[in-house]
Amino acid sequence: MRKNLLLSLIICLLFPGFLSAKGITAEPAFWWSGMKNPELQLMVYGENIASFRPSVSYPGVKLKSSVALESPNYLLVYLDVENAQPGTFDITFTKDKKQIKMPYELKARKKDACKIKGFDSSDVLYLIMPDRFANGDPSNDNLVMKTTYKTDRNNPSARHGGDLAGIEKHLDYIEDLGVTAIWLNPVLENDMQGGSYHGYATTNYYRVDPRFGTNEDYVRLIDKTHAKGMRVVMDMIFNHCGSDHIWMKDVPSKDWFNNLDKYVETSHIKEVYFDPYASEYDTKRMVDGWFVPSMPDLNQRNPHVATYLIQNSIWWIEYSGVDGIRQDTYPYADYKMMVDWCNAIYREYPDYNIVGEAWMNQTMGTAFWQKDSKLNERGNTMLKSVMDFRLMGLSHSAFFGDAGGMQALYEHLAYDYAYADIYNVLRFLDNHDTDRFLPAMPEKLDAFKQGIAFMLTIPGIPQFYYGTELLMNGTKQKGDGYIRLDVPGGWPGDAVNQFEASGRTDIQNEAWNYMQKLLKWRKGNEVIAKGKMKHFVPQNGVYVYARNLNGKQVVVIMNGNAKESVLPLDRYDEILKGYTSGKDVITGKVVSLQKELTLGAKDVLVLEL
């Protein structure tokens, strides 16, 4: 009896908020009737549960199979709920004369739940690391978890206390800036030794980390974001979980993970996917190796692992109404499983969008991963959106260097032909894994303004990292924590509040206002979201390009020189013919487009014609 009580206590600690009945838990805790895929996998956990036989008696619910794993404490129950109506029913587990009844609920789907429209090129994503943005609820800063950690804002590698309440508190700030979607770094539980503030070591796939808030808090944040006309993108990780996940404490089966007996680190050489000469050894090392020792590599070739992960994504979309997914370390997971995952998502939500982190150093490598790529002979990935890491890297030098930077940008965009859908390419200056776009606080904003204007006017989906509008700066030289800084004013007692104009310096307000002006101008601007692009080879360090749609046109002119330049305009007749002037989006001034144009040092003009 004492042993059973102890196990029940452990289960409650490991699976808080999950469905529990007499010492067993089930994931997911509930499901919905009316889904396109009629199959439901339940992972049931409890002492020697594999020795019990499940049964169900409810109209429309059929027990397809039950699978016992190597650990006797797991039982996978597969149900067919195709014809089931919403309601609660019992799943009975029988062993000899002993029975355990576990009530299970099928919920009714919300009206039009399948019609969620994912983010697209009309959006601008704003990436937030929840632990570092704002602390709206200090009471959850030091909750007791299974593992030890400290909340210490003086330690760049520790938790700082940011949470969902802090983001919710500053939704007006985000809306006022002009972005249209929020991408949050992972919010699921990371009950890891030391705290795992970044969120990339999941220890519970169905629970928001309580130091960020509750599942209900997450849903409320999404609802309030929707009410302001913005979307939310959820960060997910299929390649690995955290080493303190229950699966590592009580391993379901030997093939639940890759390289479980002997640690093998991934090579990170993602080129093996399209390298015509790649060896099987190198391919296996890349896919099956662990990211780091604290992130064990999940084996998605195991069909039960694959089903668990796919179903978990659908659960979060249906439960929370989240508008899109950013999938971490995309090429590190099993290729076929990721195709199946994309198809499963689109089957339930046809207008959904997923962006995959395929961190490639060359355009061709990135384009390989996009849905319908002609460069991919391995098979259609079905991944709608990819991330342009090559452009991110170029941006750190192109805008801060000499006039040659304009040529580098031109040459990079010339390779856009490789993409199957350029409007579903995520473009960005930096993110939580890279040096900040600004290596240090600038004395003037020439490079900043060119970078912002460029990202907001080229084809694709722009993404900005929180704090860019405040001129946050830094490099990874001393560690990741130095590019993941707290926003001043986000914590009670902060001496400065940069969420308010009064708390920002003059140059910060200049940057914020510039970015806001362009963001609000871009919102609803179909010329930028959907228009075609035409550009000209940079001449004398000046880069000119145009976006046009249905007779409307926007022309961008960037001077890469650190001195004034005079630009003869006859070369650009095919985009300027018939126009004598254009309106500068930033200043509202009319700019003459006759014969020649004088540009200030490092100038950038965004002109509506």
* Residues tagged active-site: 328, 357
432 neighbors 131 (Cβ within 8 angstroms): no
Classify the C-alpha dihedral 83-85-86-88 as positive or negative: negative
- Report DSSP state, residue 505: -
Handedness of CA 250, 255, 260, 264 (dihedral sign): negative
Alpha-carbon dihedral sign for residues 467, 473, 479, 485: negative
Residue indicated by tokens 């007692």: 493
What is the amino acid identity at position 267?
A: S
Q: Return the SS3 of 244.
A: coil
53 bridge partner residues: 94
Dihedral over Cα of 577, 451, 121, 525: its sign: negative
Taking Cα atoms as reference points, which of 156, 245, 158, 258 lies closest to residue 201? 245
Cα–Cα distance, 233 to 120 (Å, whole number): 11
Contact 427, 460 (CB under 8 A): yes
Angle, helix 389-398 to helix 404-414, in steps of 10 degrees: 170
Alpha helices in 334-430 (DSSP H): 335-348, 363-368, 389-398, 404-414
Q: How far is CA 77 from the centre of its chain?
A: 31
Rounded distance between C-alpha atoms, residue 52 and residue 41, angstroms: 17
Q: Residue 101's Cα: distance from chain center in Å?
A: 39
Task: Output b/e per residue, 517-536; b: 16+ Cβ within 10 A.
Answer: bbbebbbebebbbebebebe
- Mapping DSSP to helix (H, G, I), strand (E, B) and coil, where does residue 469 land? helix
Which residue, among 449, 458, 444, has the nearest Cα to 529 in the 3D structure?
458
- Partners of 584 in the beta sheet? 607
